[in-house]
Structures are given as C-alpha cells and as structure tokens.
Structure 1
Amino acid sequence: MKTIIKSILILSICLWGFQNTHAQDIRFGAKAGADFSNWHGKDVKDADLNTHIRFHAGAFAEIPVAKAWNLESGLYISQKGFEANQEILGFNFDVTNTSTYLDLPVLAKYGMTKNFNVFLGPQFSYLLNNKVPYEFEGEKDTDKGVSGFKKFDLGAVGGMGYQFNNGLLVSANYDFGLLKMDDVTNTKAYNRVIKISAGYRF
C-alpha cells in the first residue's frame, strides 16, 4: 500500500510539472463505456466464471510531451467482477460479484497517424464498494462490503483509439490486474477487463 501511494505521489508531481510546462496545450475530455470483466488466476481457473458486463465513466486530461507523444491521465468509476451459475449438490446457485473501483490510469499515448493512436501505461485503482447478489433455489439476497478484498489494485493498461476531427473519440483497451484481490486467504485471483469507450475531447 505504501509503495502504491508513493508511486501515485511521484506521478502526481510529474503531471504537475508537465502541466506547468505545457499548460496552454492541455486538452480535457470525458469518456464512458462498457466493461467486460472477469477474474483470472491459478486459483479460479477451474471455477467456470463468466464475463460480467458493467460500465465505466470519467474524465481525462491529455498533455503533449513530444512530437506525436502525449501523456494522458484521468479518473474513472469502473465496475468489475464476474458472474457464475453453478450446481452444488444438485441445487442451482447464481452469483454475481460487482466491485466498483476508482481508476487512475497514467498512459503514454502515441499518434500512429493524425487520428489513430495506441497507448500503454500503469493504472492505480481504489476499491470503493463491493456487492454480491446471489440466488439459491429461488431465494435472493445480497452481500455488501469490501471485507476480504484489498483496497488497492495495480494494473497495466494497453489499447488503441481513434480521435475524430470534431472532438468525438472511441477507444478499446485491456486492463491487466497485477495484484491479488484477496486480502485474507491469499487466493490467486486478478482483475481482467476489456473496456470499450466513447467520448469527447474538448
């Protein structure tokens, strides 16, 4: 946790420095879209988990640093998790895990052409809440709370985007979680998310 906080502080200082240097060139925007998420890892590979479709939304700033290169960072609310339908001792059990995170990506963005770009970088995430609605033989209930989950997550983000001349944009990226989510039993399970986004850059 201390390492993550220290990294965020260092990145914030770097962004502040870029902002002072290129203040007149900073572009702001907003994005939203669909999250296609699941858990991956050694301890859940045989669990038959299904993709959980939720959403993300937030705002970003884009700072030019060199020819064709930009630094992009922002804050996004992003919902991740999994769905599962299993039979236990002859009984049907449906469960959905929805974890809501605050994501802070810091991306190096390269313009392959005037409109098409690719990007790569780290992402720092903070778990805001977690809900697990489930149904067992027609009986429904919901577990809430973040107990047992690590509050902080670190991931790598890679993707591509297209910036239209009128300000509209679309992008697709893959979030690769690097830290185990479990804070109790050390279960090897990690967030994996495909994000499809649309937005506008002012």
Structure 2
Amino acid sequence: MKTKQKFLSLIMIIVSCTTVFAQDDPLQSALLGFKGGANFATISSRNLEDPSFRSDFYVGLAIEAMLTDKFGFQVEAIYSRQGLKINQQLSKRKEIVRLDYIQIPILAKAYIIEGFNIQGGLQFGFKVDESSPVTFPLENGVDFNIDTIRSFDFQLTSGIEYKFKNGFFMQARYSYGFSEIVDDSEAHNSVFSTGIGFMFY
C-alpha cells in the first residue's frame, strides 16, 4: 500500500507541474505523457562473478517542457523493475534478484532533426521493493542480500527518442548507478531500456 501511495503522489506532482509549466510564459510548450517498455538490467561489479541481465518492465509518466523549438527538459516518474540473474555454483542454476525502484529522471532534451531528439541527465532511484532467494558473498567478502541493499540510487542516464507528429514516441535509454547498491561492494545498477509512449497535446 505504501508503494502505491508513493507512486500516486508522484503522479499528482507531475500533473500539478504540467499545469504550472503550461501557464509559464518562457516555455514554448509543456506536454504530459505516459510511457512503458522493457528493462534489461544487471549489476556491474568487478567483485561479482558472471552476472546476467534480467528482463522486466517499466511504466510511468513524463513531462516534456520546451524552452525553445529545439531545446528543453523532461521530468519523469517511473516504476522500474530491475535487478539481475546470478549463477549459483552449488545449484548450477541462475537465481533472480529483483529490485523495484521509483525512478525520477531529470533530463535535458535536444531535438536534432524534426522528431528525433537526444536526452541526458540525472536520475534518482528510490527502492520500494526487493526479492532475493539467496544470500551470496562478493569476491571482496561483502554479503549481497536484501538486508544490505541501499534504499537510494543516484544515476546518470542518456538516450534517444523519436516522436511522431501525433504524439506517439519510441525511446531507448541507458542508466548507470554511481551509488553502490550495497556499501563497500563496488556494485552498481546498469540498465538498458526500450519502450514506447504517447504525449498529449
């Protein structure tokens, strides 16, 4: 219930911001949209042997606020299912570690040609749920389990997007976490994502 309340609160904040932006004279336009797609997530760490990508989904809302015809920014609130698959030497199978975040990207956005744009900026991740069937030690002796995973993740993210004139868009993005997800682990979130969405005019 707490997770749902947090997500609904973020939706209300985005809708409120859209109303304010739309009334702000310096902006050329302000659009509200929704998006969703697939994540291909893993954990990047030299202390973690043979991590694999875990595929899952993300869904959320976005504001596009343009300062000029070519340049502006985009703010989003996304529910993102991440984590990794890890090989277990004893059982000889891959175990799934699931990490769910509310991600808040704040991005600069530049249109290169009509419809096609590049994006880049900061992303703030707030862990709302996790699941791991096992505890496994990293090579430096740190235990990786759901009790040691940090609740906040600071990331850089960038991507490309093509938006059609009717508001429909396609997007691909990569995010890398600069925060260690477990203290002293040198383990960082690494996520490729691709998806579609629609901006309302």
| TM-score, normalising length: structure 2 | 0.79
What residue identity is the alignment partner of 2:167?
G
In structure 2, distance between residues paired with 1:94 and 1:149: 20
In structure 2, distance between residues paired with 1:68 and 1:25: 11
Instruction: Give 1:26 shift.
Output: 1.1
In structure 1, distance between residues paired with 2:167 and 2:56: 25
Residue 27 (str. 1) matches residue 25 (str. 2)? no
Residue 41 (str. 1) matches residue 45 (str. 2)? yes
What residue identity is the alignment partner of 2:24?
T
Instruction: Give 1:42 shift.
Output: 2.4
Residue 194 (str. 1) matches residue 192 (str. 2)? yes
| CA pair 67-25 structure 1, distance change in 2 beyond 3 A | closer
In structure 2, distance between residues paired with 1:121 and 1:79: 20
Deviations 1:79-114 (A, max 9, x none): 1111123322xx424310010000000000000011
Show structure 2 runs of 5+ residues with no match.
1-13, 135-144
Q: CA RMSD in A?
A: 2.2
Q: 1:131: which partner in 2? A: 131
Q: 2:113 is paired with a residue of what secondary structure? A: coil
Sequence identity, in percent?
24
The 5-angstrom pairing of residues 18-167 of structure 1 reads 19=21, 21-22=24-25, 25-44=29-48, 47-88=49-90, 91-133=91-133, 146-167=146-167
Q: What is the total number of aligned residue pairs between the two structures? A: 172
| TM-score, normalising length: structure 1 | 0.79
Contact 1:129 1:146 in 2 (8 A): no
In structure 2, distance between residues paired with 1:133 and 1:31: 30
Show structure 1 runs of 5+ residues with no match.
1-11, 135-144
Q: 2:98 is paired with a residue of what secondary structure? A: strand
Q: 2:169: which partner in 1? A: 169
